[in-house]
Amino acid sequence: MPEFISKLRVAVRIRQTGEEPVDGFLLLLPQAEFHRGPETILERLNATDRLIPFVRRSDGATLLVGRPELEWVAAARTVAAELVLQQSHFVTHEERVAVRFRSGEEMEGLIQMELPEMLNRASDFLNGSDDFFALLTSAGTFLVNKGQVLHTRLFEASPLPIAPESGESGY
């Protein structure tokens, strides 16, 4: 019989495809798999689970929401930053963008990226393997589902790829 693990409840607002935003709670593991401390909301969203438990605030009902159908998730302002996304990453580049969702909603914000030297553009970051990324906006941090993004507009030109050191062939 599987062992029951008590979860952390974190206050969030979610928006699913074609629905109005809903307030409630996501359930996080008290110990993350790859670092000390609890699982973050971003880690929960980028896990392989197809369905994520969500407790609706209005009536306390537990819903298993389809991860691919989430447009975005925003933590309540009272949620500690270390429960939203891992604070130990090193930001190597930032870009201002406007994200347009399939639903037509658009939001502007800042993408903070941790990328190796040879990958330094928003396109490199957004083409990464994670399904969700953090978008810092004036209204707070939104965890955006790449699969629900119609397009992302860059406000500034992305930097050119870094050229190989002299003497390197580039292959």
Delimit the domains of the chain by residue range. 8-84, 93-154
**Stretch 131-157: mean pLDDT:** 93
User: Which tokens go with 90?
Assistant: 């090193």
Query: What class has domain 93-154?
Result: mainly beta
d(CA 35, CA 139): 28
Q: Model's pTM, two decimal places?
A: 0.85
Torsion of CA 150, 87, 90, 120, to 10 degrees: 0
User: Does position 23 have pLDDT exceeding 50, yes or no?
Assistant: yes
**Stretch 66-72: mean pLDDT:** 96
Of 82, 171, 89, 167, give the one whose Cα is nearest residue 125.
89
d(CA 133, CA 120): 16
**Stretch 20-41: mean pLDDT:** 88
8-84 carries CATH number 2.70.98: no
Q: Are strands 22-28 and 51-56 parallel, antiparallel or unpaired?
A: antiparallel
One fold for 8-84 and 93-154 = yes
**Stretch 94-101: mean pLDDT:** 93
Confidence at residue 6, expressed as pLDDT on a 0 to 100 scale:
83
